[in-house]
Amino acid sequence: MGQTLVEKILSRKCGRYIGAGEIIIVGGLDCVFTHDASGPLVISRLNELGGGIGLDPSRVCVFIDHVVPSPSASISNDYKALKGFALEKGVRFHDQGCGVCHQLIAEYYASPGDIIIGSDSHTTMAGAFGAFATGMGASDVAIALKTGMTWLRVPESMRISVEGRLPKGVFSKDVILKIIGMIGAEGANYKSMEFHGSAIRRMNMEERMTITNMAVEAGAKCGLIPPDEETRKYLEERGRGDKYFKIEPDGDAIYSDEISIEASDLEPMIALPHNVDNVVPVEEVLGKRVDVVFFGSCTNGRMEDFKVIDKIIGGERIDRGVRAIATPASRNVYLQALKAGIIERLASAGVVITPPGCGLCIGVVGGIPADDEVVLSTANRNFLGRAGNPKAHIYLSSPATAAASALYGAITDPREAM
């Protein structure tokens, strides 16, 4: 019987035929990671299990990304403990300023066919490489660290095909917002979202990551894109070309749902407060006043995004009523944007640049909005209270829509500004 991509990946790991609905225990995990937000609880769970890790330390990572630089002694004490843990166990440690875990997983670790377990829901992002990557809680991550294994219910798959060419001003963020708006916040609950079609194949890896990053916003267990020449190129540029191989679903694989989207029909989309599936075309909210614009996050804080933002803002002054904050997703992105002159141009345009990390998306540091303020963010969540103030209103869009809106101080169609 034909297999979906997730069935193929898990079968390869288990050395036998695996089908949707099965409960499996899988070892040989390629990467298990945690970060500052959940790491202290992971360590405490691991200690309950007797401490010690049962897998190669080079496959384990600890990231400090959610709140950087630390604003308080209690957070710094947690970071000190996490660093101590990483040094003691000999695992990979990425300290404050290195960047968001998912971005660093993409830059340094993820490869086709991998199984990646992270204590963060957006772990799904590494599915852009054709890796099975999923978020779990602290207990599951601690057990994976201790035993080198995890248990999974093999998910059914939803096949999403995006064919054709995206119109000018429409980006991968608009594609995934459109899909989440169509199927809803639990439209892919428990499932694997598999993305196909010429529009997906035309996207580079950075654009694809935006899509798999947000698969979890439809409830998905993973979001997968079959590896191809773009994947090979990305890996080769980062010294991991030897990790590339092709893995794809069978032509007769069985899907629980199939969705087809014509790329040329798409337009810029925006998620309204306070749910990610509350999606409408940007056209419907044009002119809405914006107080804060956030450029960043694991969803849209990459070089590709900064190029688009730079193209729209250039050296022009952003609207004086807007506070715009740019947070590169990693130090590598920061340095690339710096060398390209983008950081300088954004700073002269009036944008505040903050250190690589999660920034305003998590809302502990980095420009918390005031009551009743409207935030337009390139991140992945607009839940009530998300940017640190439950009285603020968060909208989600592509970097292009956010940049055009920062220039004019109101929600603006990026096609007008490009």
Which one among 90, 190, 317, 370 touches other proteins, defined by CB under 8 A?
Answer: 190
> In 10 A of CB 294, how many CB atoms?
30
Give the distance, in angstroms, between the CA of residue 166 and the centroid of all CA atoms in the same chain: 21
Distance, in Å, from the CA atom of 176 to the CA atom of 159, rounded to the nearest integer, reads 14
Closer to other proteins by CB, 144 or 261: give it. 144
**Helices (runs of H) and strands (runs of E) counted in the chain:** 15, 18
* Cα–Cα distance, 77 to 190 (Å, whole number): 36
* Residues in region 215-234 near other proteins by CB under 8 A: 219, 221
**Binding region for other proteins (CB under 8 A) out of 142-150, 203-211, 227-235, 313-321:** 142-150
Residue 367 near other proteins by CB under 8 A? no
Binding range to other proteins, per CB under 8 A, among 83-91, 144-152, 256-264, 407-415 = 144-152
**Residues 24-53 contacting other proteins, CB under 8 A:** 25, 37-38, 40-41, 45, 48-50
Which x/- pattern, by CB under 8 A, does the window 80-119 give for other proteins?
Answer: --------------------------------------xx
Asked if 368 contacts 388 with a C-beta cutoff of 8 angstroms, the reply is: yes
**Identity (one letter) of the amino acid at 185?**
A
**DSSP alpha helices (H): ranges in 101-223?**
101-108, 138-147, 172-183, 198-202, 205-213
Q: Which amino acid is at 255?
A: Y
Backbone angles phi and psi of 378, in degrees to 5: -95, 10
Residue 153 or 165 having the CB closest to other proteins: 153
Of residues 245-304, those binding other proteins (CB under 8 A): 275
Strands (E), 342-398: 351-353, 374-377, 393-396
Residue 364 makes contact with other proteins by CB under 8 A: yes
**If binding is defined by CB under 8 A, does position 138 make contact with other proteins?**
yes
Q: Among residues 135 and 181, whose Cβ is nearest to other proteins?
A: 135
Whole-number Å distance between alpha carbons of 309 and 303: 10
Which residues of this protein are in contact with other proteins, per CB under 8 A? 25, 37-38, 40-41, 45, 48-50, 66-67, 72, 74-75, 78, 118-121, 123, 135-140, 142-143, 146-147, 149-151, 185-186, 189-190, 219, 221, 275, 362-364, 368, 381, 383-386, 388-390
